Amino acid sequence: MADRLTAIAIRIAALTGWRRATLATAMGGLAAFALPPFYVLPLLIPAFVVLIWLIDGATRTRQAYWTGFWFGLGHFVIGLYWIANAMLVDAARFWWMIPFSLLGLPAVISLIYIGTVAALSWRFGRRGSSRVLLFCGLWTVAELARGVLFTGFPWNMIGYSWNEVGPIRQAAAWVGVYGVSLLTVLAAAAPAILASGERRMPIKLITLYVALAIIGLFGWLRLADDHDDMVPGVTLRLVQPNIVQSLKWDQRAAAANFENLLELSGEPSKTPLTAILWPESATSYYLEREPAALEAIHDHVNGAMLITGSLRATRSDADGHVDYWNGMIALDKAGQVVGTYDKFHLVPFGEYVPFSHVLPIGKLTPGLADFSRGPGPRTLTVPGLPPFGPLICFEVIFPGAVVDRANPPKWLLTLTNDGWYGYSTGPFQHFVQAGWRAIEEGVPLVRVANTGISGVVDPYGKVIAELRLEERGYIDVPLPQALAAATIYAQFGDGPVWFFALVLIAIGIWVRNSGEFSN
């Protein structure tokens, strides 16, 4: 068996030119099918094993770099193709951006991160355990860096492939999704050493997979503590109006869109409602400045509070400058504003144009002015509800950056609109990633979408209620209790993951320099 694998590895490693690039691209695409919403987890093993063998066969750093680039391109084109759908909402203006969104973003990610990981793995590693350990540590560092550099884009981390495996997913409460990614890449790439001729190969692999099983056991024990406790006296109504994106900002449809929201909000409830929740930018106007709309809301919410996404504008008294915000407002039972929040992690080209003084293009969302950034994560306290952490759209995908650490919330509320992306993998990925923040922080998460997937996730990641993609309707649900104690991840963040990743890199280099294994 080992001899056959060695022969296969040698043939793969010897590939050059278009054959090497094609195989690397195919393996990257294959790995994407392990992620939401497909979850074909075993595909990660051939994908990463073949990538390791291709890196082994590189004759110089440049060749290893481009091997990693092609792997990344295949991976991110399959995983992120849905972004191009946003350009089709106003195709007459943005059709020319489709190639850039379909290929440009995956290419940039691959050039900066995946190519670099492959090049450094080849340059400082050696075939076998050295390269696998080094590659895993570097991949994890690249994921961590991707989450923060250039405004950050921590989408489709490899760890999300465990979303359907509850016990393993619980490891996010200790090391976050980045830590789960580290474990996943290590487990997927480790079989590559079977073709290296190393001593004690079976023992190494068995030890690794036993460790993974032990993590799963601890996760299973953690799930045993999930008692479905709910906050007494709190019932939330999640409203998903399912407004087609082409009509979302059409002023001719504004009245009908608003009536849609009011109709769903005014439906009778079996239990008194504490709060009604509307999605991101639920109205196409500045709701705080519309007394008639506020009065209509008051007449339809049946004594409940309303929390909604809304455009906001504030004028500076000093110079008269107007700031525009993608915001959230909370209205009490009397229709008075009792809390506001402004999005701080804005979407490049969607809510602002980077280098707008140079680039002659407009943002995708309506309006000429860029949105301003809010001050950052905060906790809102409003009557009748436990303190909550507000988030808008893709702010929720940033691990460790969703709560105010000085004033931690008891639950997270994220308002979004995935109507830009149609019926694609994007909204499913978005919902899954939001749910992992609940596990990491040990608090429930409530997600309300214009269309997308609206739902409630408990602190263990269990979805207790949801509205499907492109479904119009509402659900009345209780609010799960937060965990009594903060999770390890909430206390220490990604610091331990950085440490483990750097340790793997150091061990990989040490193994190479020890001369124990031949290359």
What is the CA 498 to chain-centroid distance, rounded? 19
Q: Per-residue pLDDT averaged across 44-67, rounded? A: 98
Strand partners, 446: 413, 456
Can you give the three-state secondary structure of 272-314, one letter per residue? CCCEEECCCCCCCCCHHHCHHHHHHHHHHCCCCEEEEEEEEEE
Q: What is the mean pLDDT of residues 220-226?
A: 90
The answer to whether residue 487 sits within a structural domain is no
Number of domains composing the chain: 2
Whether 485 maps to a domain, the answer reads: no
Residue 362 lies in a domain: yes
Reported as type and span, the H/E element at residue 126 is: none
The CATH number linked to 447 is 3.60.110.10
Q: Going by C-beta distance under 8 Å and a sequence separation of 6 or more, which residues neighbour residue 236?
A: 273, 274, 275, 276, 277, 446, 456, 476, 477, 478, 479
The overall average pLDDT reported for the chain is 92
280 is catalytic: yes
288 with 166, same domain: the answer is no
Q: Which two tokens stand for residue 179?
A: 């830590």
| C-alpha–C-alpha distance, residues 124 and 136, integer Å | 13
| Interval 77-104 mean pLDDT | 89
Looking at per-residue confidence, does 315 or 219 come out higher? 219
Predicted pLDDT of residue 208:
86
Contact of 410 with 385, CB cutoff 8 Å: no
Question: How far is the C-alpha of 364 from the C-alpha of 351, rounded, in Å?
Answer: 7
pLDDT at 464 over 70: yes
Mean pLDDT of 388-408: 96
Best CA proximity match to 458, nearest among 490, 477, 481, 434: 481
The 10s digit of each residue's pLDDT in 296-326 is: 998 888 889 999 999 998 887 666 678 889 9
Minimal CA–CA distance to 311: which of 378, 249, 252, 355? 249
> Helix 17-32 crosses helix 44-56 at what angle (to 10 degrees)?
150
Residue 3 has pLDDT above 90, yes or no: no
Query: Quick one: pLDDT at residue 335?
Result: 86
Query: pLDDT higher for 76 or 211?
Result: 76
Could you tell me which of 292, 185, 308, 312 has the C-alpha nearest to residue 239? 308
Asked if the structure places residue 395 within a domain, the reply is yes
* pLDDT of 347 over the 90 cut: no
Q: Are residues 322 and 351 in the same domain?
A: yes
pLDDT tier at 37 (50, 70, 90 boundaries)? very high
Q: Check if the beta carbon of residue 44 is closer than 8 Å to that of residue 158.
A: yes
Identified catalytic residue from 136, 143, 248, 343: 343
Question: What is residue 364's predicted lDDT score, i.e. its pLDDT?
Answer: 60
Q: Is residue 339 a contact partner of residue 303, using CB atoms and an 8 Å limit?
A: no
Same domain, 405 and 508: no
Residue 290 sits in the same domain as residue 403: yes
What is the phi/psi pair of residue 312, to 5°? -135, 150
Please check the confidence at residue 244 and state whether its pLDDT lies above 70. yes
Please report whether residue 103 resides in a domain. Answer: yes
Close Cβ partners of 436 (under 8 Å, ≥ 6 residues apart) = 160, 163, 169, 172, 177, 399, 461
The confidence score (pLDDT) of residue 517 equals 44
Based on the domain organization, do 200 and 275 belong to the same domain?
no
Q: How far is CA 448 from CA 63, 117, 219, 316, in A?
A: 46, 37, 28, 31
Q: Please tell me the predicted confidence (pLDDT) of residue 318.
A: 66
Residues 445-460: tens digit of each pLDDT: 999 999 989 999 999 9
pLDDT of residue 518: 41
- Please, are residues 482 and 230 in contact by the beta-carbon 8 Å criterion? no
The answer to whether residue 508 is domain-embedded is: yes
Instruction: Output phi, psi for 177, to 5 deg.
Output: -65, -30
Distance in angstroms (rounded) separating the CA atoms of residues 170 and 346: 29
Residues 234 and 138 in one domain: no
Amino acid 104: pLDDT: 94
The residue annotated as part of the active site, out of 143, 363, 393, 410, is 393
Q: What is the pLDDT of residues 413-449, one digit of tens each?
A: 999 999 989 999 999 999 999 999 999 999 999 999 9
Average pLDDT over residues 119-138: 95
- 389 vs 372: which has the higher pLDDT: 389
Indicate whether 122 and 267 sit together in one domain.
no
Residues 82 and 188 in one domain: yes
Those residues whose C-beta lies under 8 Å from the C-beta of residue 327, and which sit 6 or more positions away, are: 309, 310, 311, 312, 340, 341, 342, 343, 374, 392
For the segment 335-363, the average pLDDT, to the nearest whole number, is 77
Using the CB atoms, write b or e for 439-450: b if 16+ within 10 Å. Answer: bbbbbbbbbbbb
Q: Which of 250-264, 320-334, 379-393, 408-422 has the lowest mean pLDDT?
A: 320-334
Same domain for 327 and 432? yes
Q: Indicate the range of 27-36, 94-103, 136-145, 462-471 predicted with least confidence.
A: 94-103
Rg over alpha carbons for the chain, rounded to the nearest Å, is 24
> Which of 136, 143, 248, 280 is an active site residue?
280
- Domain that includes residue 447, residue range: 230-480
Instruction: Tell me the angle at which helices 17-32 and 61-80 cross, rounded to the nearest 10 degrees.
Output: 40
* pLDDT greater than 90 at residue 475: yes
Predicted confidence (pLDDT) at residue 295 exceeds the cutoff of 70: yes
Separation between Cα atoms, residue 51 and residue 250, nearest integer Å: 48
Stretch 333-352: mean pLDDT, rounded? 87
Average pLDDT over residues 332-358: 82
Q: What is the pLDDT of residues 163-214, one digit of tens each?
A: 999 999 999 999 999 999 999 999 999 999 988 777 667 777 888 899 899 9
Distance CA 18, CA 248 (A): 45
Locate all alpha helices (DSSP H) within 190-277, ordered by sequence: 201-223, 245-248, 254-266
Mean pLDDT of 347-362: 67
25 and 98 fall within a common domain: yes
Q: Say what the pLDDT of residue 427 is.
A: 96
Same domain flag for 94 and 203: yes
Residues 338 and 465 in one domain: yes
**Checking DSSP bridges between strand 473-480 and strand 388-392, what pairing results, if any?**
unpaired
Q: Once rounded to an integer, what is the mean pLDDT over residues 33-43? A: 97
Instruction: Output the pLDDT for position 454.
Output: 98
488 in a structural domain: no
Is position 159 within any domain? yes
